[in-house]
A = this chain, B = another copy of it.
Amino acid sequence: MNAVTPNIAERIRALGARATPARVAVMRLLETAERALSHHDIELALQANGFDRVTLYRVLDWMVESGLAHRVADAQRVFRFSLAAPDAPAHDRHAHFRCEDCGKVFCLDDVPVTRPALPKGFSSSAVELSITGHCGHCGKHA
């Protein structure tokens, strides 16, 4: 019984991880979030569940590591998290847009990132193209 969010739990297991209540709850929350959420936002929104603060930090770490979420430090130097586009190619192959207002990160799937030539002796492990500005939602009210 208890038809618990089969989609999300299934996606978690598909990554080889355990579908715990904390992971399901955080992912569901981020899926419907209008803006990038801080750890504190999430703690407040899910306080009825009684998750430990460290558990929430670890869920968020795991989401970032496994490519499910983006993490960015906002202007007050607190991390904000937003869901990554599920069907996008690897994040280092496309550009990202970060809204200065709401903190949300958008995958710009159709803006490719090409690896530029480097000076002699240099080697690259990652390339990142990020644009900052106002997103479609926040630009309306500017």
Q: A35 in the interface, Cβ–Cβ < 8 Å?
A: no
Nearest CB in chain B: distance from A57 CB, A: 13
Contact assessment for A126 and B116 in the assembled complex, using a CB-CB cutoff below 8 Å: no
Contact assessment for B122 and A136 in the assembled complex, using a CB-CB cutoff below 8 Å: yes
Per-position 1/0 for A113-129, Cβ under 8 A of B: 00111111111111111
Contact assessment for A127 and B125 in the assembled complex, using a CB-CB cutoff below 8 Å: no
Contacting residue for A127 out of B76, B129, B137, CB 8 A: B129
User: Which residues of chain B are near A136, meaning CB under 8 Å?
Assistant: 119-122
Q: A89 in the interface, Cβ–Cβ < 8 Å?
A: no
Nearest CB in chain B: distance from A103 CB, A: 11
Contact assessment for B121 and A126 in the assembled complex, using a CB-CB cutoff below 8 Å: no
User: Which residues of chain B are near A111, meaning CB under 8 Å?
Assistant: 116-117
Contacting residue for A121 out of B125, B132, B139, CB 8 A: B139
Contact assessment for A126 and B133 in the assembled complex, using a CB-CB cutoff below 8 Å: yes
Contacting residue for A132 out of B108, B116, B128, B132, CB 8 A: B128
**Partner-B contacts on A (CB < 8 A):** 72-79, 95, 97, 100, 106, 108, 111, 115-137, 139-140, 142
